[in-house]
Structures are given as C-alpha cells and as structure tokens.
Amino acid sequence: VQLQASGGGPAQAGGSLRLSCAASGLRLDNVIIAWFRQAPGKEREAVSDMNGINGRIHYSDSVKGRFTISSDTAQNTAYLQMNNLSPEDTAVYYCAAHSFSGEPFDWGMAREYEHWGPGTLVTVSS
C-alpha cells in the first residue's frame, strides 16, 4: 500500500490550496481515507475523513466550513480542498487509510489508521 500526498506549498492567508492523495494497493471506495496535520511542536491532529463505502464525512471544528474532502474512485485519489486559509493551518499534512475491520473506529485517532503516506508541507503567511 502506498499513499502519496502532494499539493502543499506556500499560501497567503485567505487563499486556497488543494491537496491530493494518490493511493495504490488499496481502493478508496473500500477504506476510510483521512487527512491529518501536524504543526511544529504540536501533536498530529485529525482534519477530515471519508468513509469510502457509505460516504460519511467528518471534519474537525477548526476546518469545518473551510475544508472539503473528496475522492475520485476512478483515479483512486483523495483530495482536500482548503479555502480561506489562515496561518494556523500551517502544518505538514498527511493522508492515511483504515481498512474496515468490523471493530469500533474513532476517526480522529491516528492510531486507528494502518497506512500512512509521507506528508506535504503547507505554509500559510499572513
């Protein structure tokens, strides 16, 4: 399994970026795909996830209304559209995947995800 995040870079406050997560070795319509981020000196935090089977989506309170998660099953790629960026969004962003196991699942906990890709850095300046 490989997850490759891309699309990070510099942005101005109020601007937008779209992150991509290209997946191989698994199908996005059969897993939970999520975005996490980690700012310097802080713990990794959940941003959003999408259930590939039933389409259920969650967002953290800090990004709700500004970020949108989506996926293209034909391309097997997930996206995170980030609008109205602020300097507080500066972080390394990671995509992660969880294969369904039938066990209770907490989307916001990093330990729940078996597969991780290398991060992509987003830097937002004021």
- How large is the average pLDDT for residues 57-70? 98
AA letter at 9: G
CA 94 to chain centre: 6
pLDDT in tens, 64-83: 999 999 999 999 999 999 99
Q: Is the pLDDT reported for residue 103 higher than 90?
A: no
Q: Is the pLDDT reported for residue 102 higher than 80?
A: no
Q: Give the CA count within 13 Å in the CB-facing half-sphere of 25.
A: 12
pLDDT, residue 72, reads: 97
Q: Is the pLDDT reported for residue 119 higher than 90?
A: yes
